[in-house]
Amino acid sequence: MATLKNIMRRNVKTVKESATISEVSRLLIKNKLSGVPVIDKNKNLKGFVSEKDIVGAIASEKFHNKKVKDIMTEKVIFLEDYTTLDVVSQVFTRHPIKHLPVTRKKRLVGIVSRKDVINNLVGQYY
């Protein structure tokens, strides 16, 4: 059975907690992303910031001086790189998320999306 290690994307765009909302917004737009993991200097996963988080900050009209740490989601669902794809599929089915950070010993090593799982299944069966 394939694991996340086999299908995850390793070149992950990330931001630090100290990044501004403007900086993360530009990163998302430039790279056509809907969200990115937030890491510390040791690549430990600290949270996830999404378009939804940014829109919420803009709607509150208090976003000018805010940092990523002020708006990010801290309780992030993540999986270890040895997790099998059947477990990954169950997580995506049970939670309204598009991306899952992938870790090894608490350090970010990749990311996987619902599309990555679908592409893998299509490649196996069609």
Give the strand pairing for 99-104 and 79-80: parallel
Domains and CATH numbers, the chain: 4-125 (3.10.580.10)
Kindly report, residue by residue over 14-46, the tens digit of the pLDDT. Answer: 999 999 999 999 999 999 999 999 999 999 999
Rounded Cα distance between 121 and 58, Å, is 38
Rounded Cα distance between 118 and 69, Å, is 32
Rounded Cα distance between 108 and 81, Å, is 10
Rounded Cα distance between 28 and 14, Å, is 10
Kindly report, residue by residue over 70-119, the tens digit of the pLDDT. Answer: 999 999 999 999 999 999 999 999 999 999 999 999 899 999 999 999 98
- 8 with 81: CB under 8 angstroms? yes
Kindly report, residue by residue over 62-83, the tens digit of the pLDDT. Answer: 667 789 999 999 999 999 999 9
